[in-house]
Amino acid sequence: MEEGYRAFGIVLAKITRARGESDSPSRRAEITLAGAYDEAVKGVKYIVHCASPVPKLRPDSRQGTVEETYINPAVLGVIGILESAVAQAADTVKRVVVTSSIVAVMPRSAFRGEGSDRPPFTGQSRLPTPTAPYEDPYSSSKTAALEKSEAWVEKHSPPFDLISIMPAWVFGRDELRTTSEGMLTGSNAALLDFVRGAKSATPINTGYIAVEDVADAHISALSPAVSGGQSFILSKHMSWEDGRQIAKKHFPQAFATGLFSEDGVQPTVSIPTDASEGEKLLGRKYMDDDDTVKEMTAQLVELVEAGK
């Protein structure tokens, strides 16, 4: 909206109204149903499909098969957008930008540190079609959605093009989180759990990106100066220990009170990644580690101090 766009939002679930959203109407929709987006896309020029976020980094209590819970919603959601755009807005839509993920193009073996001598992953890397049994349902859903959306565009040759944005862990202030417990969900939990002293034996990727960079990349991707049919990885590497030291520099009292701890253990893997095209898309360097970690840890400290 700051760039002059007028936005209309479709949400899967009821969300808290975020700051600056008063001029951006929204409504709920069952995104997996045929025609779910038909009314929303009429007359629009650009579509940004933010897709499924990283689930809570806790045991998944949702009921249903992997296909019902992960694969189908991811695939049907993006295909539904494309089909509605052709059916209801073929004369107006110029581009669809989809939030994918780096996990869509990185095999699970890479997260175990295997194949570290391979060429770096890029936005043009691709994986085979995922099949059951799924080693990681969320990653498989992202791979399937990417593959199906690109295949759909190739088959139907719509009058608009498609761009996929592939962020790593997304860190930063989350305006939809109003409690300290809520902050410990999604991508932010990957680092915040460690900073709070959690101990894990499961390696995770050190690649991350600031939420501001993700937002700006989606807007930059709408520019006619950017060619369609591309995919952009957004990622930079930071050791979790460095992240903890940044938190300690800005919030030493949080360590003194026990909110944060230096006892956390988290094995990490630095997966070879070439995210330079993402910086070219933004037209600047990615946000630095200090600012990003300060923003996310500050929000948690503020919520705890407010008793929320």
- pLDDT tens profile 285-295: 999 999 999 99
Residue range 276-280: average pLDDT?
A: 97
Stretch 96-114: mean pLDDT, rounded?
A: 92
Judged against a pLDDT cut of 70, whether residue 54 lies above it is answered with no
Higher pLDDT, 154 or 62: 154
More confident residue, 89 or 26: 89
pTM over 0.85: yes
Flag whether pLDDT at 307 surpasses 50.
yes
pLDDT on residue 18: 47
**Residue 235's pLDDT band (cuts 50, 70, 90):** very high
Q: What is the model's pLDDT at position 111? A: 87
Give the β-pairing of 26-28 and 161-167.
Answer: unpaired
pLDDT band at 15 (very low <50, low <70, confident <90, very high): very low
Question: What domains, with CATH codes, occur in the chain?
Answer: 9-305 (3.40.50.720)
| pLDDT, position 29 | 54
18 or 134, which is more confident? Answer: 134
* Position 1 confidence tier, pLDDT thresholds 50, 70, 90: low
Asked if pLDDT for residue 255 goes beyond 60, the answer is: yes
Is the confidence at residue 19, as pLDDT, over 50? no
Average pLDDT over the chain, rounded to an integer: 89
Mean pLDDT of 300-304: 95
Whether residue 216 has pLDDT greater than 60: yes
pLDDT at 103: 95
Q: Give the mean pLDDT of 184-206.
A: 92
Across 24-33, 61-70, 157-166, 178-187, the highest mean pLDDT is recorded for 157-166
- Could you give the percent of the chain with pLDDT greater than 90? 69
Segment 90-116 shows an average pLDDT of 92
* Mean pLDDT along residues 233-253: 96
Q: For 144-176, write each residue's pLDDT tens digit.
A: 999 999 999 999 999 999 999 999 999 999 988
Burial (0-12, 13-18, 19+ Cβ within 10 Å), 91:
exposed
